[in-house]
Amino acid sequence: MTICPCCGSSFEGTLEAGCTSCGAHAIGPALPAPAQKLPAYEQAFLVVAVSALLAFAFLVSFAVAFVERGVFPLSADGFVTAFEDATWRLKYTLLPFSVLGLWANWHITKRMRREPARFVGHRYALGGLALTAVVLLVSIAGFGINIPERLRERRIAREAANSALLHASHRAILDYQACYGTYPATLEDLRKLPDADRSIARALDHLSSSDYRPTAPPTAQLTVSRNRSARGSTAKLRYANRRPNVPDGAEAAVSFNSYELAWPGEDKIFGTVDDRVMQDGLLVEKSQYPSPRPSATAAASPRTR
């Protein structure tokens, strides 16, 4: 079976007789094989190119991070900071490409070692393989160094967001006081305020599991009686010790001048690390705040001494 080099068709016979498809035929005997074949260098060139590209990408990222940080003159802390920024910036590019580059370069150098006579540049290939391994190790080390710091920054950002939520509620409470002359009896009373951007509604949705405790001046002894109507449940505050000249059906005006707000965090469970406590707009330690009151729906459990 002979394959025609002109049209690619296969036929029985030799090229001297001509191709049955296109009519091409050989004009003489085939040339003899060369006595000596030149070795190939493209394999070594490919390994060196891949390793040099990875190293160049890391150096450029390091230089950019160094300039952005402005850590001049050079110091150990500035060097480490620029190194962390450079590796973290390339975590989705340099790290995976270094793994792929190391795998490809390893197979190429392995093939070159199996057939040393066919290829040249073995030392260059081994140097490129070592450089690729170094870039990969540097990327892994930088990524590992960054993880604790990034987790700390994420925790700080989450704490700042939680604190901002409580401060937003405090701003709404102050707006309520400016409108009605008192702090609200419950957080739901804040929905009476104008809320064009729905910031108050979003804050109240997050604070649905919070424990809000308004307090009145010590001279006023109050009791809370809850009356339900067809339009919902409202809390009416009355004086416990009424003067004789105050009729039974009259309601006394109560002015709250202080409050305490405990928020269990995003997990909605009190006693965890993400709890936040605010007193009159100031965040306080959880140890200074008493345990929250049990909800009305919680089942009562006997106390043990």
Please report whether residue 259 resides in a domain. yes
Do 154 and 197 share a structural domain?
no
Q: Indicate the residue type of 51.
A: S
> How many structural domains compose the chain?
2
pLDDT at 206: 81
Do 153 and 79 share a structural domain?
yes
Please report whether residue 66 resides in a domain. yes
Range of the domain at 148: 42-158
Do 104 and 52 share a structural domain?
yes
How far apart (Å, rounded) are the C-alpha atoms in residues 191 and 188? 6
Which residue ranges in the chain fall short of pLDDT 70?
71-74, 218-254, 285-305
Using the 3D structure, point to which of 158, 190, 205 is the last residue of a domain: 158
Do 150 and 58 share a structural domain?
yes
pLDDT at 297: 35
How does 269-301 read in b/e, with b if 16+ C-beta sit within 10 Å? ebeeeebbbbeeeeeeeeeebeebeeeeeeeee
- DSSP class of residue 300 equals P
pLDDT at 225: 39
**pTM, 2 dp:** 0.55
Do 188 and 284 share a structural domain?
yes
How far apart (Å, rounded) are the C-alpha atoms in residues 178 and 291? 30
Please report whether residue 8 resides in a domain. no
Do 199 and 107 share a structural domain?
no
Please report whether residue 222 resides in a domain. yes
Please report whether residue 117 resides in a domain. yes
Please report whether residue 25 resides in a domain. no
How far apart (Å, rounded) are the C-alpha atoms in residues 22 and 44? 41
Query: Rounded to the nearest 5°, which phi and psi values hold at 247?
Result: -65, 160
pLDDT at 292: 53
pLDDT at 72: 62
Do 151 and 55 share a structural domain?
yes
pLDDT at 214: 87
Residue-wise pLDDT for 258-304, tens only, equals 888 888 877 777 877 778 888 888 877 665 455 555 443 333 334 34
Query: Which H or E run includes 222?
Result: strand 222-229
Do 275 and 202 share a structural domain?
yes
Do 223 and 133 share a structural domain?
no
Please report whether residue 299 resides in a domain. no
How far apart (Å, rounded) are the C-alpha atoms in residues 109 and 99? 16
Please report whether residue 153 resides in a domain. yes
Do 226 and 140 share a structural domain?
no
How far apart (Å, rounded) are the C-alpha atoms in residues 84 and 94? 13
Angle CA 48–49–52, to nearest 5: 80
Do 272 and 190 share a structural domain?
yes
Do 215 and 135 share a structural domain?
no
